[in-house]
Amino acid sequence: MGVNQQVTAMNELLIRHAEPSDYQPIIAVLDDWWGGRRMTDMLPKLFFVHFRPTSFVAEHDGRIVGFVIGFVSQTFSEEAYIHFTGIHPEFRKKGLARALYERFFAAVGKRGCRTVRCVTSPVNKNSIAFHRRMGFSIEDSDMIVDGVPVVEGYDGKGEGRVLFCKCLNTGHS
């Protein structure tokens, strides 16, 4: 898809804050978006209720086609964390995840955050490539899988994770 088509596609999209009422339509399709992988346990409704200021959905013709769920760390006030991002399979490779992330960066930047962190499974090669394109660095680890540092058992036994970190531009450097 060329640049002009990307711009056209993006113009038809509305990005707005996530609402509790967005949860049911999203959770109903979530496992399908992940090709059948069971993801729903990782996304309880609480994230749509209590982290609205920093969570966003993208709508196309009134249908949700993408979302990002994140929050400001309550331990480290200058850090933000992205917990979950999903894009409808037919709406991938259009810059939509980038647009959602940029909306998130702006929201948490306004709240004083200077760093954004997130993690992904080592099997999720698209996610790793996306975060690299978005300027995230990967935290070192003794274990390297397909050239990528993986923290073994980070989210429990057998649940290794790639740890990403990005410094936000503060505009005063």
The torsion of the CA quartet 14, 105, 22, 88, rounded to 10 degrees, works out to 70
Q: Does 157 bind its own copies (CB under 8 A)?
A: yes
Stretch that binds its own copies, among 2-10, 93-101, 135-143, 147-155 (CB under 8 A): 147-155
Nearer to its own copies, 53 or 109 (CB): 53
Matching residue, tokens 């990002």 = 68
Q: Does 114 bind its own copies (CB under 8 A)?
A: no
Choose, by CB under 8 A, the member of 115, 154, 165, 168 that binds its own copies. Answer: 154
Stretch that binds its own copies, among 7-15, 75-83, 87-95, 140-148 (CB under 8 A): 75-83
Residues 14-73, interacting with its own copies (CB under 8 A):
24, 27-28, 30, 40-42, 44-46, 49-54, 71-73
Nearer to its own copies, 79 or 87 (CB): 79
Residues found near its own copies in the complex (CB under 8 A): 24, 27-28, 30, 40-42, 44-46, 49-54, 71-76, 79, 81, 83, 119, 153-157, 159
